[in-house]
Amino acid sequence: MTALTTGLAEARRLAQRTVVDPRYPISTYTLDVLWVLYDRVLSVSPERVDDPERDRFLLSKGHLPGAYYALLAARGFIPSEWLDSVAATDSPLGAHPDRTRVPGVEISSGSLGHGLPIGVGMALGLRAQGLTVPRVYVLIGDGELDEGSNHEAMEYAGATGLDSLTVVVSDNGSATHGRPGGIASRFTAAGWSAVTAPASDHVRLEAAFTDRPGDRPHVVVATS
């Protein structure tokens, strides 16, 4: 095994320790996306969680944090022992991520439709401070696109050319409302660049994140 596949296998093993309700198993496709981001794309580490020049990752679909917690443990942000008490009364790992209690977590999330608007605000804040290197990455679910707040954020980001913003849509076909041309067309209509790639193909997924025009916000639709 390569170091990459060994690390991902460990993250998958750790993820099983976070299952507190069998009705909500681990989203393995989400773990694929998270692994590619943290292993190949994001400029952030446990030693740099407060570095102004770090990349920011925002998990908008905070109601399914198990894969995220496992990834943070596998990458050294949190102790793996924490995974054995997810959602317990005295655990820092709640049913939704809490930025005040979990190192490496940028936002407290859970209510759908909040992550992308917050990401737009972060990207604007970086621009206002003259920080041109850090990027903001937001992971949303395809079902979240039913939320009007996301479309307002998409339109604003496209109109203002927020080129430091990347959104990844975890597409498992659960969205209620479709659109001709698929999910990517919703973003390109608002002035974004867009790439669709399978979540399980890490090479294509990495290219989807890194091969972008650079003059507009970017979206990666990760299908499963």
Where do the domains of the chain lie? 3-223
Share of the chain above pLDDT 90, in %: 73
pTM above 0.75, yes or no: yes
Supply the pLDDT for residue 22: 61
Tell me which CATH code domain 3-223 carries.
Answer: 3.40.50.970
CA 136 to chain centre: 10
Q: How many helices (H) and strands (E) does the chain have?
A: 7, 5
Encode pLDDT of 113-171 as tens digits.
999 999 999 999 999 999 999 999 999 999 898 899 999 999 999 999 999 999 999 99
C-alpha–C-alpha distance, residues 59 and 191, integer Å: 23
User: Where do the H-state alpha helices sit in the chain?
Assistant: 3-16, 28-36, 66-74, 115-128, 148-159, 183-188, 202-210
Report angle CA 222, 207, 153 to the nearest 5 degrees: 50
The predicted model gives 6-12 an average pLDDT of 83
| Residues making up the chain, counted from first to last | 224
